[in-house]
Chain A
Amino acid sequence: RKEVEQDPGPFNVPEGATVAFNCTYSNSASQSFFWYRQDCRKEPKLLMSVYSSGNEDGRFTAQLNRASQYISLLIRDSKLSDSATYLCVVPVAGGTSYGKLTFGQGTILTVHP
């Protein structure tokens, strides 16, 4: 299994739709997980951190299933401005606890009018 694996998409959804992205990870010892957002030719920016079973922030909900080593990101009421690549991010296997992260390849989302 890859360290972090995502469905690359692309996902094309209309405004107002609900869309969910999935991510699996291989390091069963991971304690923290992140979703970053990357706009075209821009830097990644943190969207959400997940330390327990899940996290919710407005229209965004992240859920963690440790038994299945699976993280999801749900976006409700999609906006045009949500169009971006969503990166699933997990600390590198091996017990490091600094900013050494494994990034998934990213899931491309396009929200259309």
Chain B
Amino acid sequence: NAGVMQNPRHLVRRRGQEARLRCSPMKGHSHVYWYRQLPEEGLKFMVYLQKENIIDESGMPKERFSAEFPKEGPSILRIQQVVRGDSAAYFCASSPRGQGYTGELFFGEGSRLTVL
């Protein structure tokens, strides 16, 4: 499957624990985006990364959330000290180009985080 791969698909954490969500972009894509979908709400942009660079993190909460896209390996969205309000579906998307690209984003199946 050459599509965007996300894991885990489902993750349960207790309040105060850490959540790590991973995303491998589509083959040939080097631009990764993370979106969050809260229950009954639309998708919200969180962060845009290229390999080893965070390009735009304007949608990331100021505390507890971080993202990276290392030279080797998947992009990781890390949530420290999770709270119940972090329960959501986290979608990763990729594109073949960055600046100037106005085409389709290819989404992974999402990681559903439940905080108990």
Contact A42 B109, CB 8 Å, known A100-B33, A100-B45, A100-B48: yes
Q: Nearest B residue to A94 by beta-carbon distance? A: B58
Q: Which residues of A have CB within 8 Å of B31?
A: 98-99
Task: Please report which residues of chain B, range 21-65, place their CB below 8 angstroms from some CB of chain A when the two chains form the complex.
Answer: 31, 33, 35, 41-45, 48, 55-56
Interface of A is mostly: loop
The minimal Cβ–Cβ distance linking B93 to chain A, given in whole angstroms, is 6
Question: In the assembled complex, how far is the CB of residue B41 from the closest CB belonging to chain A, in whole angstroms?
Answer: 7
With A102-B45, A103-B43, A104-B42 known as contacts, the answer to whether A97 contacts B101 (CB < 8 A) is yes
B: residues with CB less than 8 A from A are: 31, 33, 35, 41-45, 48, 55-56, 89, 91, 93, 95, 97-105, 107-110, 112
Q: A41-B89, A46-B105, A103-B42 are known contacts; what are 10 more A-B pairs with Cβ within 8 Å?
A: A43-B110, A46-B104, A92-B45, A97-B100, A99-B98, A99-B105, A100-B33, A100-B45, A101-B43, A103-B44
